[in-house]
Structure 1
Amino acid sequence: MTAIELNSVVNVPTQPVRFLIIDDDHVSVLAIKRALKKLKIINPVQVARDGREALEMLRGEFGDGHRLPPYLVTLDLNMPRMNGFEFLEEVRNDPALHRLVIFVLSTSDAPADVANAYDNNIAGYIVKDNLGDSFVKALDMIDCFTRVVEFPH
């Protein structure tokens, strides 16, 4: 098992990419964690039940003056208190968070939802129609993404 790390820049130590799952559905969270384990991805994983809780977690990461560590976010759209679209709007308007890499994992395949998500600069939109093999393949694609793409420092 290995952790996915950022490529190092001169004198900047690498840090493993952290996964933040934002989803209020316990079954979906377990499926994501199970898929990560099946893919032997051991990166730190945090879970938030809605957008508001996720913002508190993320803002807490750099509240002491440090930079936000690299995150890859999986975001559900339909959640209580603060839904996925509200979270995206808040993040994209926050100078400290606007570069977060976010993949939407949603049960909705409505064209308006897909378009709205991409209008908020997401990295990808994945429909949670099957939490089996296709779901593992989607997370494997995200794993490959983190290994190849440079994250902002």
Structure 2
Amino acid sequence: MSIPNPIPMTILLVEDDEVDIMNVKRAFKKNNISNPLVVAHNGIEALALLRSTEADAPKPRIILLDLNMPKMGGIEFLKEIRQDPELAALSVFVMTTSNEDGDKIDAFNLNVAGYILKPLSMDRFIAAVSTLKSYWTLCEYPE
């Protein structure tokens, strides 16, 4: 029998749009999600955070990833973490405005846990985040 980890799982949001960052934070609040949320504004910043060797650096297990970002986009970031044995097992959910089949195919070929189109209404966005919370609350992760 496993003992539940009392420390809430850290979530990494990789998003360059400040409005979308605020929407995610608002959706977390509306869904009573108390998990620590760490924000990186592009793939390079996210990789630096994930690869940090500092003892107090957050170790996210779940990533919410936008695809269209400066410096390093989401697909390039996914390729990078999937090739890194230390990061390959991270659960990644794409949250993007891109409805392109090519992006969806690329993302799923890189083993994403889900591909979510950013809804236009806040109510739909809150509902999508609620579903994500159900997912990561139900899943068991190794220590």
TM-score, length basis structure 2: 0.91
Q: Determine what percentage of the aligned residue pairs are the same residue.
A: 40
Q: Distance in 1 between matches of 2:142 and 2:49?
A: 19
Indicate yes or no: 2:101 matched with 1:111: yes
Q: Which amino acid in the other structure matches residue 80 of structure 1?
A: P
Q: Does 1:145 align with 2:140?
A: no
1:31-70 alignment, distance < 5 Å: 31-60=23-52, 63=53, 69-70=59-60
SS at match of 1:28: helix
Runs in 1 of length 4+ with deviation above 4 angstroms? Answer: none
| Alignment map for 1:18-97 (pairs within 5 Å) | 18-60=10-52, 63=53, 69-97=59-87
1:9-44 superposed Cα distances (whole Å, 9 cap, x missing partner): 7xxx54311111100000001000000001111111
Q: Runs of 5+ in structure 2 lacking a partner?
A: none
Q: Which runs of 5+ in 1 are unaligned?
A: 1-6
Matched positions, count: 141
The CA RMSD measured in Å over matched residues stands at 1.9
Question: Equivalent of 1:15, from 7, 16, 28?
Answer: 7
Relative to the length of structure 1, the TM-score reads 0.85
- Distance, in Å, in 2 between the alignment partners of 1:40 and 1:103 is 19
| Equivalent pair of 2:66/2:96 in contact (CA under 8 Å) | yes
Structure 1 pair 47–131 and aligned structure 2 pair: CA distance change class (3 A): farther
